Amino acid sequence: MSPQADRDLTSLIRRARMKFCNEAKEDLVNVLNNFKDLKPDISNFTFGDGINKNCLTLDGTIPIHYKGGNYHIPVILYFLDNHPYMGPHCYVKPTQNMRIKPSKVVDSAGRIYLPYLSEWQYPNYDTAGLLQVITISFQEKCPVYTVVSPANNSSGNNNHSTSQQPPYPCSNPTPNAYPSVSPPYPSVDPPYPTVEHPSNLMPQPNVGGFPAPTHYQPVPPPYPSVERSSISANPTALGTGYGYSNSTIQPTHIRASLLSAVEDKIRQKVRNKIEIPFAELQSVDANLRDLHSGKQKLREMMESITRDQQELDRILGVYTSKKEEFEKALKTTEASGSDLNPEDAIDAQKLVHKQILRCYVQDCAIDDTIYSLGQSLKRGSINLQTYLKHVRQLSHQQFQHRLLMQKCRERAHLPI
């Protein structure tokens, strides 16, 4: 890409206000280096909810090889502001003398539907790969057909209202001529008919609402289609039965056309054979990833359980040793015959500490008493007047105990 083209592309990306400028530019540069007929621009795009937005586009043609001939299919790609993390909207953009042929890949409005678009995931998917997939799909089933007026028909086709012809030539042919690389006639399964219109009528509007470029020339209709049985029975009749000389259709042309049809069918069958094992392989690969993930989670759970078990064993050992110490002390006390008062077993060393302990115990006892009075009031054991009387007295006592405990803690230099 030239420096000027690089600057123009950067300017268009900024005008489109793309969020990921560097990634989008890298993707588009790769496309423009591989598809020379596509040109970047800014165009208005209407979403399904009616919102209009200026989007960066790639407008032009992509080359395909169809039925032995090379053709260019006009397309346009609309890129959203979050490209390349979201796939583009792709449309076939027919010229004035073309009509869209709907299929499972292209709808009547020209929009292209492919699994590559619905499964888009950057950086595994990019626009260059998308265009390659579109090219392969169009080579299997051409998305457009040509509408030809009577003025472009040769005199040898006056007795036929329709003819089969490829959609779009690579080079610009002259009137009443055929592309040199295209087959003289579609020998098997002609893709679409060419509809003739009177010369005094205006061209029909393009399907899909896209403007039709004018720098492509229409192609005159090729030879009429012939049944397979007649081809195999008398190939030379093709050159004379429809007003053409034997010097135009050679056996090599017939052979090339038949080979092209056979190649298409073999390619389709090979694709069908490959798709099923590939889908199965993807399913097996997904299951394998799930199994590896589950294995890792199970390993982490086992390690966590092992750590918890070790911690429980350690705690159990501590409690067991303490229990043995208590039992030993109890047996020693019982053997000595001393009458130990449990109330005297816990005592403070200093008088101020004893007073703090006594006030705290009385404070807790008053809390329990007030709670019991409240439960009795709920059950109806006492009336409200009795409840308020005792709560008032207990609250007064509790205040005195807390005040005394605070002064004792100040005297003992303890935090309040």
DSSP per residue, 98-131:
EEE---SSB-TT-BB--HHHHT--TTT--HHHHH
Q: At 367, which amino acid appears?
A: D
| Within a domain: 109 | yes
Whether residue 215 sits in one domain with residue 353: no
Instruction: Look up the pTM and report it.
Output: 0.39
Sequence-ordered list of residues with C-beta below 8 angstroms from that of 23, at least 6 positions apart, any chain = 84, 85, 122
pLDDT at position 203: 36
The whole-angstrom distance between residue 266's C-alpha and the CA centroid of its chain comes to 32
pLDDT of 217: 37
The answer to whether residues 11 and 96 belong to one domain is yes
Same domain flag for 121 and 200: yes
149 and 275 both lie in a single domain: no
Query: Does 168 fall in a domain?
Result: yes
Cβ proximity of 358 and 351 under 8 Å: no
Q: How many separate domains does the chain show?
A: 3
**Would you say residue 192 lies in a domain?**
yes
What's the token pair of residue 75?
Answer: 């397309």
Q: Residues 284, 216: one domain?
A: no
Structural domain contains residue 275? yes
- Domain membership flag for residue 319: no
Identify residue 172 by its one-letter amino acid code: N
Strand, helix or coil for residue 265? helix
Q: Which two tokens stand for residue 396?
A: 């007064």
Same domain, 110 and 211: yes
pLDDT per residue of the chain (416 residues) written in tens, 0 to 9:
788 888 888 889 888 888 888 898 999 998 998 888 999 999 888 887 788 888 999 999 999 888 888 889 999 999 998 898 988 999 999 988 888 888 888 998 899 998 888 888 888 888 988 998 899 888 888 888 888 765 555 444 444 333 344 444 433 333 333 333 333 333 334 343 343 333 333 333 343 344 433 333 333 334 333 333 333 334 333 343 333 334 455 677 677 778 878 888 888 888 888 887 888 888 888 899 999 999 999 999 999 999 999 999 999 999 999 999 989 988 887 787 766 666 666 777 788 888 998 999 999 999 999 999 999 999 999 999 999 999 999 999 999 999 999 999 999 888 87
Task: Find the CATH number of the domain harbouring 60.
Answer: 3.10.110.10
Q: Do residues 141 and 282 share a domain?
A: no
Asked if residue 275 and residue 170 are part of one domain, the reply reads: no
**Residue 148: its pLDDT value, please?**
73
Kindly state whether residues 276 and 189 are assigned to the same domain: no
Residue 304 is assigned to a structural domain of this protein: no
Residue-level pLDDT at 270: 86
Q: Are residues 198 and 83 in the same domain?
A: yes
Contact 195, 89 (CB under 8 A): no
Calpha distance 288→298 (Å, rounded) = 15
d(CA 139, CA 12): 31
* Euclidean distance between CA atoms 9 and 33, whole angstroms: 13
- Specify whether 287 is located in the same domain as 381: no
Q: Distance (Å, rounded) from C-alpha 378 to C-alpha 372?
A: 10
User: Looking at the structure, do residues 138 and 193 belong to the same domain, yes or no?
Assistant: yes
Could you write out the DSSP letters of every residue in 227-244?
-HHHHHH-GGGGGTTTS-
Residue 73: give the domain boundaries. Answer: 3-232
With beta carbons less than 8 A apart as the criterion, state whether 194 and 165 touch: yes
Distances (CA, A) of 339 to 334, 343, 344, 345, 348: 9, 12, 11, 12, 21
Question: Does residue 164 form part of some domain?
Answer: yes
**CB-based contacts of 404, cutoff 8 Å, min separation 6:** 355, 359
